Chains A and B, each alone.
Chain A
């Protein structure tokens, strides 16, 4: 019983983490049909900036509660600045090109940003333990757990619900749906598609950076931080169906729980499970479990 609770909690924490890092990817793909490999860099940039800001904040002696503000600031600043620069400086020239070529272009961006991180932040790892120390730990299911990683579940739920409501209930969401469905007709109807694209990309970027910024206190932020995340979030997005937010949630849950079971029961297959699930899902449902229906154009 105790192991079951541990597995469930571990699985949920890991799922929440996966959902946070992959939801931005799926939004960008859903609206713009771009598979953004540079998402991993946004994640790494978010983590580095947040770790750095938390360090500065604590050294100034402002108290540990404010470090959470720093996480939010890091995510917003990194996401908005990098998202805007990437979309205007690179992606906007790629809309007419092959999907696969765009993937390569973002791969190139990933390589570039990866080294810019080293040039800006150096090669030494950053530790930002303060927010974690501030929240302390609690006993849950007979095991002592740190509260910080549990708050991840809440954050993922909030982000998921806000996005879901925003996309289905607001005017903005409806505009997005129109653009997704038919870009040309949206232009004809007077929707500023360029603005929609820029804002979508920035939103996706902020979410990617938020994932990194929030995870930073739980790990040591070191070079190569974004590499693993890319394929992990690809797996999540592909399993759920590219471009679907509920899909990303389901994908994150499937992968998260499966990995937690593997870690506790059969640690040898930990990584294998993630990509095994991805391969099986793709073989039977290449568009993923919850892919949004696409209109057939003739």
Chain B
């Protein structure tokens, strides 16, 4: 029997190292900014991808995205903590804790009910934030300029580069860990649960626990992504962090990327950010139209996402 070797881990290692080095050398500021935003969103999408492999789509992960973003912003409020070594783990932890509690509820549901319940929870947070004057209600508030291990960059360009490097390292770590997880027995249960829950139960695994674990993982990743986005944008507000359209965006990128590999969300997210930026520049009143048409085309013509396109190319090479 011939098995193909798994190139994912060497692939993402080389990939992220190349992005980091080439990025520092050649990327202009606007493109680096775009990459940072894309990768931050991609971290949340990695979590959604794990859920999607299980057959679950959450229309409410903006809840965790927003929790992460607001955690970072709140820690830094009134000359508070700006050290990313503290703020980012805190963002992840807060999101994971909330995910752990809500997980007990959502793990009982599937399909459209899972999606709707997630949406309801995220809109509860949105409803609270919009009406909280202390947190700037709909306007939000500013996030402190980050420090990295005590190093405080002097100008915006250096800050951006520092965020970029930290993010590349984080993305690499997440990609490797999640890939390892997906290769493990627990990880392989994802597709098994989607195919037949009853069989999984008969094999001796608890479907509820497996889903709960994946849910917490996706919550933590969304929190981390939201935290980074808050730092990168320097501002948090309910509409761009917690509203249902943010959840929709995350699901959109998940579909665009495809469930094929942990590397897919990073590529998909980059493509999404490029489409959005260019569409916005050329046709400011029609960028949603272009995004919508892209989503429809992928649903119809590329159900496996961008990754399936790459996989198809590779298969042709092998033949």
Show the binding face of A for B, using Cβ within 8 Å. Answer: 35, 90, 93, 97, 99-101, 103-105, 107-112, 114-116, 118-119, 123, 227, 230-231, 234-235, 238, 242, 267-276, 278-279, 282-283, 286-287
Q: What residue of chain A has the Cβ atom nearest to residue B122's Cβ?
A: A275
**Cβ of B27 under 8 Å from chain A:** no
Q: What residue of chain A has the Cβ atom nearest to residue B132's Cβ?
A: A268
**Cβ of B123 under 8 Å from chain A:** yes
Contact B112 A100 (CB under 8 A): yes
Q: What residue of chain A has the Cβ atom nearest to residue B293's Cβ?
A: A112
Per the bound structure, the CA–CA distance linking A274 and B128 in Å amounts to: 11
Per the bound structure, the CA–CA distance linking A267 and B116 in Å amounts to: 25
Per the bound structure, the CA–CA distance linking A109 and B292 in Å amounts to: 6
**Across the interface, which residues of B come within 8 angstroms of A273, CB to CB?**
127
Residues facing A in B86-108 (CB within 8 A) are 105, 108
Q: What residue of chain B has the Cβ atom nearest to residue A90's Cβ?
A: B296
Contact B119 A111 (CB under 8 A): no
Contact A114 B288 (CB under 8 A): yes
- Encoded as 1 (CB less than 8 Å from any A CB) or 0, chain B from 119 to 133 comes to 111011011101110
Chain A nearest Cβ from B227, distance in angstroms: 24
Chain B nearest Cβ from A234, distance in angstroms: 7
**Cβ of B300 under 8 Å from chain A:** yes
Q: What residue of chain B has the Cβ atom nearest to residue A115's Cβ?
A: B289
Q: A108-B291, A108-B293 are in contact. List 15 more A-B contacts (CB 8 A).
A: A104-B255, A107-B295, A110-B292, A111-B288, A115-B288, A118-B285, A227-B245, A238-B120, A270-B127, A271-B130, A275-B126, A275-B127, A276-B124, A278-B120, A283-B117
Contact A274 B252 (CB under 8 A): no
Contact B289 A234 (CB under 8 A): no
* Residue from the list A110, A114, A270 in contact with B131, Cβ < 8 A: A270
**Cβ of B181 under 8 Å from chain A:** no
Q: What residue of chain B has the Cβ atom nearest to residue A272's Cβ?
A: B127
Q: What residue of chain B has the Cβ atom nearest to residue A279's Cβ?
A: B120
Chain B nearest Cβ from A123, distance in angstroms: 7
Contact A104 B252 (CB under 8 A): yes
Contact B121 A279 (CB under 8 A): yes
Residues facing A in B116-155 (CB within 8 A) are 116-117, 119-121, 123-124, 126-128, 130-132
Q: What residue of chain B has the Cβ atom nearest to residue A94's Cβ?
A: B299
Contact B121 A272 (CB under 8 A): no
Contact A282 B116 (CB under 8 A): yes
Residues facing A in B235-269 (CB within 8 A) are 244-245, 248, 251-252, 255
**Cβ of B272 under 8 Å from chain A:** no
**Across the interface, which residues of B come within 8 angstroms of A242, CB to CB?**
112
**Cβ of B172 under 8 Å from chain A:** no
Contact B299 A123 (CB under 8 A): no
**Cβ of B79 under 8 Å from chain A:** no
**Across the interface, which residues of A come within 8 angstroms of B117, CB to CB?**
279, 282-283, 286
**Cβ of B57 under 8 Å from chain A:** yes
Q: What residue of chain B has the Cβ atom nearest to residue A283's Cβ?
A: B105
Chain A nearest Cβ from B127, distance in angstroms: 3
* Residue from the list A90, A104, A278, A287 in contact with B251, Cβ < 8 A: A104
Per the bound structure, the CA–CA distance linking A276 and B255 in Å amounts to: 29
**Across the interface, which residues of A come within 8 angstroms of B109, CB to CB?**
286
**Across the interface, which residues of A come within 8 angstroms of B245, CB to CB?**
227
Chain B nearest Cβ from A255, distance in angstroms: 12
Given contacts A231-B119, A279-B120, contact A109 B57 (CB under 8 A): no
Q: Which of B108, B126, B130, B299 is packed against the most chain A CB atoms within 10 Å? A: B299
Q: What residue of chain A has the Cβ atom nearest to residue B299's Cβ?
A: A105
Chain A nearest Cβ from B123, distance in angstroms: 4
* Residue from the list A99, A108, A114, A235 in contact with B295, Cβ < 8 A: A108
